[in-house]
Every structure is written in structure tokens, then in C-alpha cells.
Amino acid sequence: MYKSKSTLLLIVILLTFNTFEAIGQRKSENGQNVENSSHLRATPKLVVGVVVDQMRYDYLTRFWDHYEQGGFRRLVNQGFNCKNNHFNYAPTSTGPGHASVYTGTTPATHGIIGNNWYDKETDTVVYCASNEDYDSVGTETSAGKMSPHRLMVTTVTDQLRLHWQMRNKTIAISLKDRGAVLPGGHTANAAYWFEGGVAGNWITSSFYMDNLPKWVNDFNASNSAEKYKRPWTTLKGIETYVESGLDNNAYEGLFRGQTSPTFPHNLPSLWDGNGKFNMIKVTPYGNSIITDFAIAALKGESLGTDAITDFLAISYSSTDYVGHMYGVNSKEVQDVYIRLDRDLARLFKALDQKVGENEYTVFLSADHAAIQVPAYLKDQKIPAGYIVAEDLPARLNMYLKHKYGTTKLVKNRSNNQLFLDHDVINNLDLELGDVQKDLARELLSYKDMDRVYTAEQMWQNEYREGIPYILQNGYNQKRSGDILMVLKPGIINYPKTGSTHGSPQIYDTHVPLLFYGKGIQKGSTFERTEIPDIAPTISVLLGIAFPSGTTGTPIAKALK
């Protein structure tokens, strides 16, 4: 009797164990146990990548009290906030920024070393997204002759498409062509950008399609952009914008026809003198047009409607245009972020309705940050200033003439790099490394120069921290120059109104990184994260292969 009871108890235990085991495992066709796929990856119906052009991290904290629950606050309070997130390379500009976010690596690997750069092979200056092999679609101008052919590796959007055998969709959207083309990668179904001027339409390239789809033609025909031809006033009472400087000051640019940089900015009266629809880009209404179009794309492309993950890449560009014109401390910048917060809330509400709450995953970051207007910093007794662009080549040419008897050793100067003519150096029977060192020493003696490095140093050393680490990550052996220059902190080559970017200094590298939605852990970290960490983090979340050039590391704390 005792033996039969023991046998019965053993059977019950075994059945119970097998039942619980079956919950976490399933049988494959060959009979082997396989881990439940939910343990391997999250399964959002849609990933939404948001890049905000020229967003400093402190725009989250400075303007926090003006944000509502549905936009930035939703991402921060219900998502994961990387508070110490940085670009780990220079130049910090739009093309390299978007490429690095989506490839999980830096210009040293992905090859987008600037918005424009001197191409040593063709002896011409090239644009990061231009491609004469393709035609414009949706316009008679050349504005659509673009493709990602200069991007040397795959993107996370490419890897997602490859993973699902091209059965899913990637759609990329931005006011700027490069803000759509580079995130879309090589395999995007479509990348759309906004053509200003007299048209005010969304266009693309024959790289993606021969004709615009009906929903895009319908959107363009609806004259949706026309409704933003209206005065730009502050969303809230301007007296509440205490987080920014005076409305009328000497640090801000002007639209043609204006006599002061103050609110309201009357777009209708300034329209013809400021490029018509191009003017909208330099207002928060440009971001609203992007949001309108992104919401239309959700329906028009049926994004996030099945179990196979789609990708929507959105780049908000007006923040950059406004920052360049008015500067970091302007009421215009404050207003553009308060209004962007409402646009994000509108986007997330549409995602909740069309895709389903907790059925999508979002990341939000930036392509670079920005410096405070140096003229303003100087007035606050903070070291800052400007260089005169013409002074450097004039002085350098005097040195070259005196030292080598010719100025032809320097072929091009761009992105704070010098490109030397190696043929001339060989013909003069000079050693390239010696010439690089001589010029570096000369440049370092200039008043506004902080550091100078040579290509030989980039080749021979492996830097692990600081400015040289950032420069090396931006140095591509095939495409970059012979001399890398860094201006002193606070010194820029730019007009005396508005903000800019591009340097390896921390005011250009510190940007937000927020994750939200399916598969994301709530919380935050003060540990350093870097822009190339975004793509592998999303790749791990989705259970797909990393982009082919990945050098970043997944942010484990952000993932459930």
C-alpha cells in the first residue's frame, strides 16, 4: 500500500513539473526542447526611432515644467532615461549623427565623416546623401537625387528587413534628405523629405520607387503645409518663458525684412523674401508638418498592423534650423521644444490608436547638441569667441611658402581637417609624416587652436578617452584628412548670432537618449552611454543581428 502511494505521488510530481516546463519551453519538430521565443526577444509591431536635430540634454531639464504628460514626460516617466549619453566622435553634425545612431558605430567605420567632405579619390567635395545615378520623384528639381550609397555598413533598419526576409517595412521621414536617407539604410521601402520653396511637398528618390504612392500624392494635394503659413507666436504666454533669455537681444538672427528678432514672427508678410515654404523649416511648424506626415504614413503604409515588426524613422529638423538662427538661450528655442512636446504627444496618441498601446517601442535621441552663442557667453565673462575663417589659410600659406617654397601642399580644408597633396609632397622628396608634424606644430601655435593631431597619430595609437578618443572615432582612414584641428572650448567659426555644433567638446556631445514601450524597463542610469549603443540595444531587444559595423554595446539596464 505504501509503495503504491509513493508511486502515485511521484507521478503527480512528474506531471506537475512537465506542465510547468511546457509553459517555458516548446518542442521542435525534431523533438528537442527550445526556449520560448518571448525569452529571446520582444515582439513590438513597430519600432519608432526619433532623432531630434540639435537637441542638448538640458532641454529636457530646463523646459521640464512646460512639458505635458503625453510627450517628453511620458518617455521619461514610463521609459528609460540615459542621463549621461554622449557622442563619442567628431564632427558632431547631422549626417554623421544620423548614420551613427542607426549603424551602431562611428564615422571611422560607417564612413559618413561629415555633411560634406573632400573626396580624395575624385578630388571633389561630396555631399553625404547625394547620388546623380538616381532621379527625383515628386519634383522636377534635383532635390530628390539622393541615396545611401556612401554609407559603408548596414543599419539596424537594414538588419530588421533582412531578418524578416523583406516582408516588413521601413519608412524614414525628415525635413532634411540626409535625415531620412541615412536612417532608412540601404533597404528602406521609402525615405521621404520635405521640399520647400514654392512647392511645400514631400518627395523622394528613384532609389526607392518610380512614383509616389497614392497616400503621399493625396497628402501633397491636400496642401497640408499651407495651413502653417501663419504668424509664429509663443504657445504659452511669453512672460512664462523664464528659462530663456530676453526676447530682444543681439545674439539672434533675423528673417529678411525683420528689424528685430522678436515675437511674433509674421510668416505671411515675410513669406516671399524668405524662401516661401523654406521659411516654415525655421519655425516649430516644420516639426508639426513632420508629425502630420508621420501619422499619415502609419495609415498609408499600414505600419504595425501585423506580428512582423516594422520600423518608422522620424527626424525632427526644425529644432536645428531654429537653433542655428536664434541660439541655445532664445525664447524661440524654448517655444520650439514646448511645441515639439505637443507634437510628440500627438504622435504617441496616434500610435496608441493605430498600433496599440504597449505594442510599439520608441527611442529618442539627437544627432548632436549645440554651443551657447559665444557672444552671449563673453558678455557673461565666460571664455568664448570667434575665429575669422580667412585668417587661418592666409597665415598657413605664409608658413608653407617660407618652409617649403610652395602653398600647394594643402589640397583642401574642411570639417576642421587639412587634406595634403601627397603627390606634391613626394615630388618635393619629403616624408609625409614629417610634413604632418611640421604643420601640426605650426597650427598649434595659433591663438585659438587647442589641439592638433596628425593622421599618423590616428594610425599608430589607440586612444581610450578624452578628445583624441573622440577624434579617432571620427577618423576614417580612407576618407579623412592628414591634420585634425580642435579649436579652444567656446571658440567657433560661425556668425555672431545663433548657435552651431560640430566640435568634440562636451556641449556638442551631451544629448538625450530615451527608450520607451514594449521590452523597455522603466528607470534611468547615470552611467556613460554612447550614441553607437542605440542600434545594438534595439537589435538585442528585437533578437536580430547587429548592424555590420557595430562597435557600440547594448544598454542592458534599459531592457526587460
- pLDDT (tens digit per residue) in 519-533: 999 999 999 999 999
User: Pick the residue with more confidence: 21 or 380?
Assistant: 380
Same domain for 248 and 122:
yes
**Band (295; pLDDT cuts 50, 70, 90):** very high
* pLDDT of 269 higher than 50: yes
Q: Tell whether 50 is covered by a domain.
A: yes
Instruction: Give the pLDDT confidence score for residue 390 in this predicted structure.
Output: 75
pLDDT of 18 > 90? The answer is no
Mean pLDDT across the stretch 88-108?
Answer: 98
**Do 58 and 329 touch, CB atoms closer than 8 A?**
no
Overall size of the chain counted in residues: 560
Percent of the chain with pLDDT over 90: 91
Residue 404 lies in a domain: yes
Edge-first strand order for the sheet with 136-137 is 136-137, 201-205, 190-195, 170-174, 310-316, 46-52, 360-366, 514-517, 80-86, 523-530
At residue 11 the predicted structure's pLDDT band, cuts being 50, 70 and 90, is very low
Q: Does any domain span residue 12? A: no
Task: Report if residue 19 sits inside a domain.
Answer: no
Domain shared by 248 and 230, yes or no: yes
Could you read off the pLDDT of 135-157 as tens digits, one per residue? Answer: 999 999 999 999 999 999 999 99
User: Cis omega (within 30 of 0) on the bond before 91?
Assistant: yes
Q: Which domain holds residue 328?
A: 46-378+506-558
Q: What average pLDDT does this structure show over 540-557?
A: 98
Is the domain of 197 the same as that of 219?
A: yes
Question: Does residue 142 belong to any structural domain of this protein?
Answer: yes
Residue 28 has pLDDT above 70, yes or no: no
Query: Is residue 351, in this structure, part of any structural domain at all?
Result: yes
Asked if 348 and 395 sit in the same domain, the reply is: no
The residue behind cell 528587413 is 161
Q: Which of 548, 499, 527, 531 is nearest to 51 (CA)?
A: 531
Say how far apart CA 447 and CA 476 lie, in whole Å.
28
Short-list 77, 146, 78, CA closest to 518 = 78
SS3 of residue 118 by DSSP: strand
- Selection from 448, 437, 449 nearest residue 483 by Cα: 437
> Tell me, what amino acid is at 167?
R
Task: State the pairing for strand pair 491-492/46-52.
Answer: unpaired
| 204 CA to centre of own chain | 19
Asked whether residue 529 is domain-assigned, the answer is yes
Nearest to 108 by CA among 438, 371, 468: 468
421 shares its domain with 545: no
Asked if residue 34 has pLDDT above 50, the reply is no
Q: Which of 255, 289, 370, 356 is closest to 45 using CA atoms?
A: 356
Domain shared by 369 and 468, yes or no: no
If asked whether residues 219 and 355 sit together in one domain, one would say: yes
CATH code of the domain containing 115: 3.40.720.10
pLDDT category of residue 221 using cuts at 50, 70 and 90: very high
The Cα 39–Cα 46 span in angstroms is 19
CA distance 247 to 245: 6
pTM as predicted: 0.93
Mean pLDDT of 254-259: 97
What b/e readout covers 409-424, taking b as 16+ CB neighbours within 10 angstroms? bbbbbbbbbbbbbeeb
CA angle 130, 132, 136 (to 5 degrees): 85
Q: Which three cell numbers stand for residue 90?
A: 567628431
**Are 53 and 132 members of one domain?**
yes
Instruction: Provide φ and ψ at 557, rounded to 5°.
Output: -65, -20
Q: What percent of the chain has pLDDT over 70?
A: 93
> What phi, psi does 458 have (nearest 5°)?
-65, -35
Q: Tell me the chain's radius of gyration from C-alpha atoms.
A: 26
What's the mean pLDDT when you consider all of the chain? 94
> What integer is the mean pLDDT of 279-290?
98
Exposure of 87 in the CB half-sphere (CA atoms within 13 A):
40
DSSP state of 368: -
Residues 203 and 293 in one domain: yes
Asked if residue 2 belongs to a domain, the reply is no
Among all residues, which ones are annotated catalytic? 94
Residues 434 and 533 in one domain: no
Q: For residue 29, what pLDDT is reported?
A: 40
How many domains are contained in the chain? 2
CATH number at residue 414: 3.30.1360.150
**Are residue 322 and residue 464 in the same domain, yes or no?**
no
Answer yes or no: do 256 and 399 share one domain.
no
